[in-house]
Amino acid sequence: MIKLIKDIFRKFSALDIASFILAVALLLCFADLPYGYYTIVRIFATIVMCLWATIFYSKGSKTLMMIAIGIAILFQPFFKIVLDKDSWLVVDVVVALAMLILPFVKDKIKAKEENDAN
């Protein structure tokens, strides 16, 4: 069991693991949980999306960087954007899917944009 955990930490970065945790947390938003849980998820999502934005910026992907910033703004807990419960659930599912996919495709982002430039 410990070997499996070490292998996971070798293969994935801390941001990748945070993305997986965020995906689970977003999918748990389907449950009827205390309001504080949603605030914690919003803070965590904002932090993770800001980190993804810096990754995209360093790889030269301005489009993905702007999308990540947009999602961070949507989730930020200071000036809340009000959506009804159903709209938030759709946003949660879409962002959760992105968080599950991004760790596997992040290394291909730069190569694709370099190929588009040539």
Residues 78-102: what's their mean pLDDT?
88
Selection from 88, 95, 44 nearest residue 67 by Cα: 95
DSSP code per residue over 79-95: SPPP--HHHHHHHHHHH
Residue 7 pLDDT greater than 80, yes or no: no
The model's pTM: 0.81
Is the Cβ–Cβ distance between 14 and 51 less than 8 Å? no
Q: What is the pLDDT of residues 20-62, one digit of tens each?
A: 999 999 999 888 889 899 999 999 999 999 999 999 898 888 8
Is the Cβ–Cβ distance between 20 and 103 less than 8 Å? yes
Looking at residue 6, its pLDDT comes to 65
Q: What is the pLDDT of residues 100-116, one digit of tens each?
A: 888 887 777 764 545 55
Residue 8 pLDDT greater than 80, yes or no: no
